[in-house]
Amino acid sequence: MNNPTALEVSNLRVAYGQKPALWDINLSIPSGTLTAIIGPNGAGKSTLLKSVLGLIPLSAGHARIFGDEISKSRNRTAYVPQTESVDWDFPISVLDVALMGRYGKLGWFKRPTSEDKRIAQRSLEMVGIQDLASRQIGQLSGGQQQRAFLARALASEADLYLMDEPFAGIDAASEAAIIEIMRDLRKSGKTVITVHHDLQTASDYFDWIVLLNCRLIASGPTAEVLTPENLHNTYGGRLTILDRVNEANATRTS
């Protein structure tokens, strides 16, 4: 049942009005990996995630999750967006947010069962905010809010997790905690694809990298992809810091 390819994208093209955001994307990400999508600002990284999920229409091409169309693989996919688009005054608690992750499995009309609540509670424990379960979400700090939405994804017990900058604006210890969760997911055979902003940590955390700058620059295992040439092509010119990153990588792997 478990398809070896978690995400397969062919000839994908996305345009916002007249402006193309992504074109001719062809890639294939294997199951059971931690993948980072990396690129400069405006490279289309979030757009790629959203178009794969069907949140943005494709101008051309298609995407398959575990070999199926997104409409058929919804139950196996979880999405953790960048958190700005939510109304923090909305009267729901942290546990309610986590519980929402179960709705896809519940379907129409049915109320969450006590088993669902137990799973939601456990996902709150996994991210370490179980004490905040009954707080209204507006009362949380930025990092806690991020973790609440991560708990929501974990509660859905998906096979593929798509995360948009999960480490943005949180401190190192929380980042380490989230990476541990990702590694646990990988150990249970799940796949995680994240948009990541930090080149330095990319080679430590992830085993598959996608370099993106409106077009696909490279996609493959970390060591193969993070070459100076690929990075030059992705970031197009701003090199000094990247050169040092490459040297550090080179000395580490040699």
Partner 1 sequence: MDLSTNIVSYLTSFNTATVLVGTALLGFACGIIGAFTTLRDRALVGDCVAHASLPGICLAFLLLRDRSFLPLFCGAICSGLLSVWCISFIRSRSKIKSDSAIALTLSCFFGAGIALSRWIQNLPGGSAAGLDSFILGKAASLSYSDLATISFVALLTVSMTILFFKEFVLICFDRDFAAVQGYPVNLLEIFLMILMCLCVAAGLPAVGAVLVVALLIFPPVTARIWSERIRTVVVLSGILGALCCVCGVSLSAIIPSNYISGGLPTGPIIVVCAALLLSASLIAKALIRLINKPTNQLDQTTQSGDLC
Partner 2 sequence: MLVSLSADELWVLATCAVCSAACAVPGVFLMLSRKSLLADGISHSALAGIAMAFLISGTRNPLYMLIGAIISGLLTSWGSSELAKRAHIKPDAALGIVFTTLFSIGVIIISAKARQIDLDPGCVLYGVPEFIPFHTSRIFDRDIPTSFIWLSGILITNLVLCSVFWKELKLTTFDPLLATTLGFNVRAINDAILFVTTATIVLSFEALGSILVVAVLIAPAACAYLISNRLLTVVILAPLIGIVSSVLGFYGALALNTSVAGMIAVVTGGVFVLCMSRWSRRL
- How many whole angstroms separate alpha carbon 138 and alpha carbon 126? 21
Residue in the block written with tokens 């700005």 = 84
Tell me the one-letter amino acid at 50: K
Instruction: Give the contacts of 87 (CB within 8 A, at least 6 positions apart).
Output: none
- Interaction between residue 16 and partner 1 (CB under 8 A): no
| Touching partner 2, residues 129-188 (CB under 8 A) | none
Nearest distance from residue 90's CB to partner 2, in Å? 11
Is-contact 139 89, C-beta < 8 A? no
- How many whole angstroms separate alpha carbon 214 and alpha carbon 24? 9
Phi, psi of 160, rounded to the nearest 5 degrees? -125, 130
1, 19, 85, 89: residue in contact with partner 2 (rule CB under 8 A): 89
- How many whole angstroms separate alpha carbon 231 and alpha carbon 8? 23
17 binds, among partner 2, partner 1, none (CB under 5 to 8 A by kind): partner 2
Nearest distance from residue 17's CB to partner 2, in Å? 6
String of DSSP letters for 146-181? HHHHHHHHHHTT-SEEEEESTTTT--HHHHHHHHHH
| Touching partner 1, residues 151-190 (CB under 8 A) | 152, 170-171, 173-174
- Interaction between residue 71 and partner 1 (CB under 8 A): yes
For the chain, the maximum distance between any two Cα atoms, rounded to a whole number of angstroms, is: 58
1, 17, 108, 188: residue in contact with partner 2 (rule CB under 8 A): 17
**Closer CB to partner 1, residue 41 or residue 108?**
108
**Closer CB to partner 2, residue 33 or residue 136?**
136
90, 189, 200, 239: residue in contact with partner 1 (rule CB under 8 A): 90
- Interaction between residue 94 and partner 1 (CB under 8 A): no
Tell me the one-letter amino acid at 101: G
Q: Give me the residues that bind partner 1 (CB under 8 A), please.
A: 53-55, 71, 74-75, 77-79, 81, 85-87, 90-93, 96, 100, 103-104, 106, 108-109, 111-112, 128-129, 131-132, 135-136, 139-144, 146-147, 152, 170-171, 173-174
Q: Give me the residues that bind partner 2 (CB under 8 A), please.
A: 16-17, 89
